[in-house]
Copies of this chain bind each other. A is one copy, B any other.
């Protein structure tokens, strides 16, 4: 069975590992969000794809949830002393990756090639594709004006109420090579338990991608990022409300009605299954939270079996 997973960072990356653990690395293609990519200190940083790479390659700092384990912070501390920006936390080992990737991009190699190279270097068999090689950036409309994603998320700690989301560059973006074929050929396409607005949204905003996923709707399973009524991490609950949606798994399911035929609810939200079904989605209940690394394969297996 071949699967495609559309994914943001953190929760999506952990889910990717669970699915890869069941299917085998070679049968999974992950399409990652680039809307939160950012240039910091002249380095091209791809936070979501890096989290996928680090998680699938076993380098992630599991406790922190981002960046590398056994990290040090001397380069950033030094850069700050020289007047460089340090609000976006880059560890020394992490910077090693960004230096190599940025050099590849400056040579003119597309992001997809850079990630194919990096994944291969790390021995990650999962195919890791950016949604697009073109420039696509997420901006948030807030009462303070429009903010780029990382300014909103990291610098201002997602404290600003989100009134709208815009994907700059989306109109001109093309799916990265291999993305449309992978979606067309997959037995199952998963939408990871990531934020639908700023993780999955920028992927589906690439022209042709939403249509390609919608064309496979009966084989598409969206996994709820809301677990037992709570967003596991981050600003999702607030965004659902401020953008006029119900702040529950049902509110998320409604966002995916046109692209997904199946919606995977956490066991804690099982009572919402009838409401999800009423939207025209098949509701499937599975343990979605993946706090414990030991549980990842079980969860992957449960979800895979549930959607079969």
Copy number in the complex reads 2
CB-contact partner of A83 in B74, B95, B121, under 8 A: B121
CB-contact partner of A117 in B71, B83, B94, under 8 A: B83
State in angstroms the CA–CA spacing of A100 and B121 once bound together.
28
CB-contact partner of A102 in B42, B75, B93, B101, under 8 A: B42
CB-contact partner of A93 in B68, B75, B118, under 8 A: B75
Contact B74 A99 (CB under 8 A): no
* Given the contacts A72-B72, A84-B103, A103-B84, A96 and B79 also touching, CB distance less than 8 Å: yes
Residues in B whose Cβ lies below 8 Å from that of A82: 96-97, 100-101, 118, 121
Contact A96 B83 (CB under 8 A): no
Contact A97 B78 (CB under 8 A): yes
Q: Which of A66-97 contact B (CB under 8 A)?
A: 68, 71-72, 74-84, 91-97
Max chain B CB contacts within 10 Å: which of A68, A75, A117?
A: A75
Residues in B whose Cβ lies below 8 Å from that of A97: 78-79, 82
Q: Is A43 an interface residue (CB 8 A)?
A: yes
State in angstroms the CA–CA spacing of A307 and B118 once bound together.
59
Chain B nearest CB, measured from A283 CB (Å):
43
State in angstroms the CA–CA spacing of A130 and B35 once bound together.
40
Contact B103 A75 (CB under 8 A): no
Residues in B whose Cβ lies below 8 Å from that of A71: 74
Q: Is A41 an interface residue (CB 8 A)?
A: yes
Contact A74 B77 (CB under 8 A): no
State in angstroms the CA–CA spacing of A129 and B33 once bound together.
44
* Given the contacts A78-B94, A92-B92, A94-B78, A100 and B72 also touching, CB distance less than 8 Å: no
Residues in B whose Cβ lies below 8 Å from that of A42: 42, 99, 102-103, 106
Chain B nearest CB, measured from A52 CB (Å):
15
State in angstroms the CA–CA spacing of A75 and B41 once bound together.
14
Residues in B whose Cβ lies below 8 Å from that of A72: 72, 74, 92
Residues in B whose Cβ lies below 8 Å from that of A106: 42
State in angstroms the CA–CA spacing of A101 and B96 once bound together.
17
CB-contact partner of A78 in B43, B74, B76, B96, under 8 A: B96
* Given the contacts A83-B121, A117-B83, A41 and B103 also touching, CB distance less than 8 Å: yes
3 shortest interchain CB distances as A-B pairs: A78-B96, A74-B92, A79-B96
Known: A74-B96, A75-B75. 19 other contacts (CB 8 A): A41-B99, A42-B42, A42-B102, A72-B72, A74-B74, A74-B93, A75-B96, A76-B96, A77-B96, A78-B95, A81-B96, A82-B96, A82-B97, A82-B121, A83-B100, A83-B117, A84-B99, A92-B95, A95-B95
Can you report 14 A-B residue pairs in the complex whose CB atoms are below 8 A from each other?
A42-B106, A72-B74, A74-B74, A75-B75, A75-B93, A78-B93, A79-B99, A79-B100, A82-B96, A82-B101, A82-B118, A83-B121, A84-B96, A84-B100
> Which A positions have Cβ atoms within 8 angstroms of B?
41-43, 68, 71-72, 74-84, 91-97, 99-103, 106, 117-118, 121
